[in-house]
Structure 1
Amino acid sequence: MAAISVIPGDGIGPEVVESALGLVDAFGLGLDVDVLDHVGADRYRREGVALGEADLARVAASGAVLLGAIGRPDLEHTGYVRDVLLELRYAFDLYANYRPVRLWHDRLSPLRDPARRALDCVIVRENTEGLYSGIGGNLRASSDHEVAVDADVNTRHGVSRILDFAFATARREVCLVDKANAVRAGGRLWQECWRRAAERHPGAATRHLYVDAAAMKLVTEPERFDVIVASNSHGDILSDLAAALAGGIGLAPSASLNPESGFGMFEPVHGSAPDIAGRGVANPFACLLTAALLLRHLGHDTEAAATEAAVAGSIAAGRTTPDLGGTLSTREATRAVLAAL
């Protein structure tokens, strides 16, 4: 059985995955890697399928999957991205999206006040329900009276388990973010499950914010947050806001997990970035930090911590790609981290 299955994907995905695999190899852990480099946009255009049953079987035979990026502009209005990302989420029930956000160096923050820059939190996002569930449709399509409906799906089972995961992740506090004052049915369910989850986890402090207030507080008081738990769409938006406060999505790792089965999908947040693909300037740090999450998931805590320290050291020394103010290429920035190790 391969320890890691790898889907490099599209755009800058193969470039940053190359960096991550170089990092994993440098530790000499003897992890078997199964690379599915045929899964991607080219295959989808040829065959109408991107991720087949045989591919899912190969992924299932591993302990985790590392994904580079999925997406290409010419396929934006097709089901391509959903066919890969959502297929993986649903096939392995990866209901917990885990996005740690940390300001790695003070100079990267867009905030003026140094006292407000210390951001070190986790956004826990429900990953299989909500507005992204794909339930809905159009009535009288393309007419002046067209009606479009997307259902915001929330189940007691799904909400309860993501709240329990958030409490299990917390160091000091869990902050529930919702819009229960306006979205009444789903809001009532989240609020009821929230009260019960807090009773099951009396050791953690709790806080509740509506999503608009949470967006404001992330900018004005980012240092106050520990764990934010939110629905699929709210968590998606807040995690990108938080990433911007920590230096940009070029530093943003993520993991989609099933805590019960132990399986996880690990991917940098930045997407395929087609505008810079092939130019050798993509920031590899998000994928390296994602690899650190993967290594920690597989039980290699020391190597994960060493990776994070090496990335922090490279940033502090200015050995970065242009998006972080440096002049290095993707491979040069990777070599800087490996040298720091």
Structure 2
Amino acid sequence: MNSTARIYRIASIPGDGIGREVIDAGLQVLRTVSELSNGEIAFEVTEFPWSSHYYLEHGHYVPEGGLEQLAEHDAIYFGAVGGPEVPDHVSLWGLRLAITQPFDQWANIRPVSFLPGVSSPLRKADTTELEWVVVRENSEGEYAGFGGRNLSGRGPGNEVAVQTSLHTEKGCERIIRFAFDLARTRPVTKVSSVTKSNAQQYGMVLWDEVFTRVAKDYPDVETESVLVDAMSAKFVLHPEQLSVVVASNLHADILSDLGSALAGSLGIAASANLNPDRRYPSMFEPVHGSAPDIVGQGIANPIGAVASAALMLEHLGEPAAARAVLAAIDATTGAGILPKDLGGVATTAQVTEALVSALREDQRASETEEVVALS
């Protein structure tokens, strides 16, 4: 290893189902990035076996001291969590949210990318350049975990469940400012704020008020405030009007899934759970779930995990490597090498091999251009 290499410590948590399959693919791509960097980039990967199987064996997902171990890393690479033998709310709160919340990963970034060679159900995608990013408040809102279940002792049919949505002025402001700062880096400088403030007159009205106040500090950025039901329609009818969409935990979760489905499949959706203050490591994961119905069949789509690795490279300060990975994805899908969920027949291994080959080909092309330029 080059003594001057930039070494990144990655905590790998494959988790459940197809998580291991897609994380393995992503790590192959990262190893190729390292190999092609001429010793400038290196990854030290430590795998953590936390999963639903681990939970059933030990009674917990994250062992005592586990977060302290994760904190020693530069980034976390996460696969999926969830299995038929564990209730979904147990697995989600036991692993994913057990990391994002204490590490204050308050900004969840979910790009919506339309890939070459991938058919979209949107007719407009055939003639219009479409690409936007959903910015999700990731620390409070509808997933704050406040509430409880009571009165079951009064007999069947009398139990009451209360789920409280939490919106703080600080939480709203920091994610909204994040969205505005992101918009300034994009070709279209626009932020669309999404709420349901006509019906939710407290927390979401606070969000709207903070958005209006913060927008005054960004006079160069176009803005709009849209109710979540109207924004769902806009995703389908007028997606060309979107650039940065910022919303609460629940609304952005749903809208980002809709966006990825419109782009072709949840299998291509990437995400980053960011601690922008960098006090803790950020976590990168594909949006799709553990898909227990296709585990071991070799047909899982690795593109979402690989695109998440590109987001990780960007966060780690390697933008050129991130662009190379995204270009390899475009080259692969553009060549018609598509997994089953995108209408193709390629296996997970074949898609991964094509991504690696595309990276190598891009490197050879760059070296050829350098030789020509020197001559």
Task: Name the TM tier (shorter chain).
Answer: over 0.9
Alignment of 1:138-149 (within 5 A): 138-141=149-152, 143-149=156-162
The answer to whether the 8 A contact 1:99-1:123 is kept is yes
Q: Which residue of 1 aligns with 2:175?
A: 162
Match of 2:198 among 173, 181, 192: 181
- In the alignment, the residues of structure 2 paired with residue 183 and residue 45 of structure 1 have an alpha-carbon distance, to the nearest angstrom, of 39
After TM superposition, the structure 1 stretch with the greater mean CA deviation from structure 2, 80-89 or 154-163, is 80-89
Aligned pair 1:279/2:297, yes or no? yes
- In the alignment, the residues of structure 1 paired with residue 298 and residue 193 of structure 2 have an alpha-carbon distance, to the nearest angstrom, of 40
Q: Which residue of 1 aligns with 2:21?
A: 15
Q: Which residue of 2 aligns with 1:110?
A: 121
Partner secondary structure for residue 27 of structure 1 = helix
Match of 1:94 among 102, 105, 109: 105
Relative to structure 1, is the Cα distance of residues 127 and 78 closer, same or farther in structure 2, using a 3 angstrom cutoff?
A: closer
Match of 2:138 among 127, 139, 144: 127
The answer to whether the 8 A contact 1:318-1:325 is kept is no
- In the alignment, the residues of structure 2 paired with residue 271 and residue 298 of structure 1 have an alpha-carbon distance, to the nearest angstrom, of 25
Alignment of 1:125-274 (within 5 A): 125-141=136-152, 143-170=156-183, 171=186, 172-261=189-278, 263-274=281-292
Q: Which residue of 2 aligns with 1:3?
A: 9
Relative to structure 1, is the Cα distance of residues 66 and 185 closer, same or farther in structure 2, using a 3 angstrom cutoff?
A: same
Q: Would you say how many aligned residue pairs link Structure 1 and Structure 2?
A: 340
The answer to whether the 8 A contact 1:116-1:220 is kept is no
Partner secondary structure for residue 31 of structure 1 = strand
Identity of aligned residues (%): 41
**Tell me, which stretches of 5 or more residues in structure 1 are unaligned?**
none
The answer to whether the 8 A contact 1:117-1:222 is kept is no
The answer to whether the 8 A contact 1:118-1:222 is kept is no
After TM superposition, the structure 1 stretch with the greater mean CA deviation from structure 2, 230-239 or 319-328, is 319-328
After TM superposition, the structure 1 stretch with the greater mean CA deviation from structure 2, 274-283 or 108-117, is 108-117
Larger radius of gyration: 2
Match of 1:304 among 322, 326, 331: 322
| TM-score w.r.t. length of structure 1 | 0.96
- In the alignment, the residues of structure 2 paired with residue 311 and residue 104 of structure 1 have an alpha-carbon distance, to the nearest angstrom, of 8
Runs (4+) of structure 1 exceeding 3 A deviation are 113-118
Relative to structure 1, is the Cα distance of residues 4 and 77 closer, same or farther in structure 2, using a 3 angstrom cutoff?
A: closer
- In the alignment, the residues of structure 1 paired with residue 327 and residue 261 of structure 2 have an alpha-carbon distance, to the nearest angstrom, of 20
- In the alignment, the residues of structure 1 paired with residue 133 and residue 127 of structure 2 have an alpha-carbon distance, to the nearest angstrom, of 17
Aligned pair 1:34/2:46, yes or no? yes
- Residues 89-121 of structure 1, C-alpha deviation per residue, up to 9 Å, x if partnerless? 111100000001111126421012456653201
Computed over aligned residues only, the root mean square deviation of the Cα atoms, in angstroms, reads: 1.5
Larger strand proportion, structure 1 or 2?
2
Q: CA deviation at 1:246?
A: 0.7
- In the alignment, the residues of structure 2 paired with residue 77 and residue 174 of structure 1 have an alpha-carbon distance, to the nearest angstrom, of 33
Partner secondary structure for residue 337 of structure 2 = coil
- In the alignment, the residues of structure 1 paired with residue 127 and residue 86 of structure 2 have an alpha-carbon distance, to the nearest angstrom, of 41
Letter in 2 for 1:127: N
After TM superposition, the structure 1 stretch with the greater mean CA deviation from structure 2, 155-164 or 108-117, is 108-117
Q: Which residue of 2 aligns with 1:71?
A: 82
| TM-score w.r.t. length of structure 2 | 0.88
Q: Which residue of 2 aligns with 1:55?
A: 66
- In the alignment, the residues of structure 2 paired with residue 204 and residue 47 of structure 1 have an alpha-carbon distance, to the nearest angstrom, of 50
- In the alignment, the residues of structure 2 paired with residue 161 and residue 140 of structure 1 have an alpha-carbon distance, to the nearest angstrom, of 38
**Tell me, which stretches of 5 or more residues in structure 2 are unaligned?**
1-6, 35-40, 360-375
Letter in 2 for 1:261: R
